[in-house]
A and B are shown apart, each in its own frame.
Chain A
Amino acid sequence: MQARYADGRAAVTHPTTLDVGADTLTFRIGETQHVWSCSDLRRADDGSGRVILKRNPDTGERLYLDETDSARIILGAPGLNAKRAFGIEGPGTIAAITGAAWSLAAVFLLAVPLGAGPIADHVPPRYRAQIADISWSQINAFTEYCDDSDEAARILNDVAYRIMQESDVPMRDDVWITIVDAPFPNAFALPDHSIVVTDDLIALAEHPDELVGVIAHEIAHIEHNHIMKNIIRSVGAGIFFDVVFGGAGAGQMVAIASVNLASLRYSRGDETDADLRGLDYLDAAGIDTAGLARLFDRFAEQERPPTESEEEADGERSGGFPTMLSSHPATAERAAAARARSRAGLNPSMTDAEWQIVRAACGGVVLPQSEPAPPAPPNAPPTNQPPVATPLPAPGTKPD
């Protein structure tokens, strides 16, 4: 069998004749006889045709066979056609990599959320304030402080304090509500125990209990430290994916998406927790939870996929935000839970005069003095009619 031999010491090849034995390859270069054990042979080619042999461990020596002899040696030593001979991983290695990858992901899914609580509880106040500053800088980028909202903010803060006092919320002296001008209805709590309420949320509310229900929900987030926990979960997720699942493209996208779904589940858990605790506050403060139920109904109406006739009437109406992908529990369920806790005969959480001041914040709706604030609508199932003359929230922009 003819071959060429490179000795690994110079970049030239020497013609030689191979003698293929049962367990060895023997060939002679000049006066020197070389004997290679078949068990030590590896492939230096990629299996596309001509065989190039090397030894394990690699000495730099190579044997180049021609096409015909390549086929013969493969027949004589079938192990040379195995993946191992090429240094290619087998199914076992692939299974191990897959197992390792998903195990890492599983560890993350369990460890980061579990660790987020204790870590969040031990974040020093100075760092909490730093994080809040970052949050405020982001909020300031897309909202504007309303100069005419001081009185309205005072009223909301008084109501919030009364609620927290009734439920003995420990950080009630630190909670402060700010009203901002923003093009969406929302309210959110920040790490420094601030609560931001947008003017569009106030405009969307038809009764003070609806707005106060949202504020109670945000107070619950603060009491249970959900904000810091969520930040730690997010930072943990970012670090995990940046470090472990480097690379780029769709592979990384799949990895991120798979764990983001899990993060949403934990976020929904926080929301449910805040819903329940918020209803407790309202109960304790003697505020009817039906207000919150009506607000949820309105959000649910926005999330409902449009009917054909609605699509024809208003091509811009959207809806159908799937619950599985939402950071919040299904809105209809939240409304039902709030409605179930409703008690009749309770006074509104604010007087008519106070409600008018709150409604007027940020140049909002000013009701004529002769016209009283709208009474609380009956605790009835939602209709399909959206509220008149109030901005419609985009799907998903509901109180955090």
Chain B
Amino acid sequence: MTVEAAEAQSFKHEGKFFNVLGLALKNAGLSLLTLTLYRFWARTAMRRRLWSRTSLMGDPLEYTGTAGELLRGFLISLPTFFLPAIFVLYIAPLVFDPATAFWLVAGFYLIGVPLIAAARYLMRRYQLSRTRWRGIRLWLAGTASAFAWASFGWTILQTLSLGWYSPVARMNRAKMMWENTRFGDQPFEFIDDGEPPAKGLWWPFALGWFAFPISYIGAIFLVIAVGAAIAGTGAITAEDLQANPMLSVGIGVAVLASMLLLVLFCWAPYNAAAMNRIASLISIDGARFKLRAKTFSLFFVSLAGWMITIFSLGLLAPMAGFLQVRYVFHRLEIIGHPKFAEIGQAIVPEGNAGESLGDAFDLDMGVGVI
């Protein structure tokens, strides 16, 4: 049976905007009250809410992580990450000669690249190990260091190629993540469908790569067109512009905002294509996944998330996470039936610590989902 002919089961996400907003507001208030220390409890509550509203075949996902684990991870990161970071960033510039201090800081930032990759891996491992469906736990095999150094190499290639290696790097990272992902004792696969993994990503990527000049020209054109239309009605005259410099500042801000919008829009086709391609290559026990992300819808979801995050000064960033999670699960389906009766429980223990480095780097921006 081909993938197209197999029976498809849709994922569902039943999270309601105002329901999640209520929780986000409560978390924001308590985070302010506790000088942000509540963030571990806030993240846990938000994940529990988002997971429990996501279901497959009528049964919801379950998040079993606790705030205590996240707090413990943070405490572990104090001596292992923050102490060296404090020394390099605060103490070294004061006690070493400028050249030594510079190289220490530069080295720290360089090490930061694989360290952030490792943090992403550990964060994903923690979140998967605290995710259950029908009581069966997901987990992530492999080592964070292997992912970190591989990712570091890909980052170097991305830099040397002025970004053009990015589609391949993105697929490589996805492949490494998904080939190490397990549902119980059943591994996911990142299949070879006979085509290059980055197939279909190059033209959308090119659009994104040229986004800046395109956006610059587009924004100027847009503002001139709107300005001409307004001037045509006589609402603003050249004398007004001379008399009121704030009008010129307003036009500058309009150009900048239009550019940012256009840049975001130019990258949307690539992001949608990459998400769809990655989903199409994931398989578990012969069943395949299909995601139907579209340029416009993804653009508007991203835009809404950014707007909410910016205008709430980051306090409602979890809403951006919610919108993304809901977007993906509304458009995700699994084609075929894994033999669930033969999928056993994970044999690897959950571990006690939380996401330490993830919190240190604030990788999920308080969203709670990575």
Contacts and interface: CB of A to CB of B under 8 A. Distances in A.
B44 to A, nearest CB: 8
Given A94-B38, A255-B36, A62 B135 contact: yes
B341 interface: yes
B313 A60 contact: no
Nearest to B19: A48
Contacts of B62: 44-45, 52
Given A10-B340, A97-B34, A246 B359 contact: yes
A248 B97 contact: no
Residue of A7, A93, A102, A252 with most partner-chain B CB within 10 A: A252
Given A130-B96, A246-B359, A250-B314, A60 B132 contact: yes
Given A9-B345, A247-B31, A238 B37 contact: no
Nearest to A46: B52
B97 A245 contact: no
Given A8-B136, A11-B133, A13-B134, A130 B45 contact: no
Interface string A19-58: 0000000000000000000000000111010001010001
Contacts of B66: 87
Contacts of A244: 37
Interface in B46-101: 48-49, 52-53, 59-60, 62, 64, 66-67, 74, 78, 82, 85-86, 90, 93-98
B37 A243 contact: no
Interface string A85-124: 0111100011001101110110000000000000000000
B94 A10 contact: no
B53 A46 contact: yes
Nearest to A44: B62
Contacts of A264: none
A302 B325 CA distance: 54
Contact of A255 (B35, B85, B340): B35
Contacts of A133: 98
Contacts of A6: 134-136
A102 B132 CA distance: 36
A254 interface: yes
A10 B312 contact: no
Interface string B179-195: 00001100000000000
B30 interface: yes
A134 B41 contact: no
Contact of B362 (A101, A248, A255): A248
Contacts of A243: 78, 82, 86
A62 B183 CA distance: 17
A130 B314 contact: no
Interface string B305-341: 0000000111101000000000000000000000011
B60 A45 contact: yes
Interface in A123-149: 127, 130-131, 133-134, 137
Contacts of B78: 243
A239 B91 CA distance: 10
A60 B135 contact: yes
B360 interface: yes
Contacts of A98: 33-34
Nearest to A64: B59
Interface in A283-314: none
Interface in B166-181: none
Nearest to A248: B314
Nearest to B93: A134
Given A64-B59, A88-B45, A250-B315, A10 B34 contact: no
B36 A48 contact: no
Interface string A234-262: 01001100111111111111110010000
A98 B29 CA distance: 12
Interface residues on B, range: 35 or more
Interface residues of A, number: 56
A251 B31 contact: yes
Contacts of B163: none
A223 to B, nearest CB: 22
B313 to A, nearest CB: 4
B90 A97 contact: no
Nearest to B78: A243
A134 B94 contact: yes
A251 B360 contact: no
A48 B14 CA distance: 10
A243 B86 CA distance: 9
Contact of B36 (A8, A87, A93, A247): A247
Interface in B1-41: 14, 28, 30-39, 41
A230 to B, nearest CB: 14
B137 interface: yes
Contacts of A54: 135
Contact of B341 (A10, A48, A87, A94): A10
B36 A238 contact: no
A8 B38 CA distance: 32
Contact of A89 (B41, B137, B360): B41
Contacts of A8: 135-136, 345
Contacts of A87: 48, 66
A388 interface: no
B197 interface: no
A61 interface: yes
A344 interface: no
A346 interface: no
Given A12-B340, A13-B59, A88-B45, A61 B36 contact: no
Interface string A208-242: 00000000000000000000000000010011001
A100 B37 contact: yes
A153 B31 CA distance: 53
Contacts of A255: 35-36
Contacts of A248: 314, 317, 362, 365-366
B343 interface: yes
Given A100-B34, A251-B31, 5 more contacts: A11-B136, A54-B135, A94-B41, A127-B95, A258-B35
For the complex of A and B, the 9 pairs showing the least CB-CB separation, nearest first, are: A249-B314, A46-B52, A250-B313, A11-B340, A255-B35, A8-B135, A251-B36, A251-B31, A101-B37
17 contacts: A6-B135, A12-B340, A46-B48, A46-B49, A48-B52, A61-B135, A86-B48, A89-B41, A94-B38, A97-B41, A104-B35, A131-B94, A134-B93, A134-B94, A248-B314, A251-B32, A251-B315
Interface of A: 6-13, 44-46, 48, 52, 54, 58, 60-62, 64, 86-89, 93-94, 97-98, 100-102, 104-105, 127, 130-131, 133-134, 137, 235, 238-239, 242-255, 258
Interface of B: 14, 28, 30-39, 41, 45, 48-49, 52-53, 59-60, 62, 64, 66-67, 74, 78, 82, 85-86, 90, 93-98, 132-137, 183-184, 312-315, 317, 340-345, 359-360, 362, 365-366
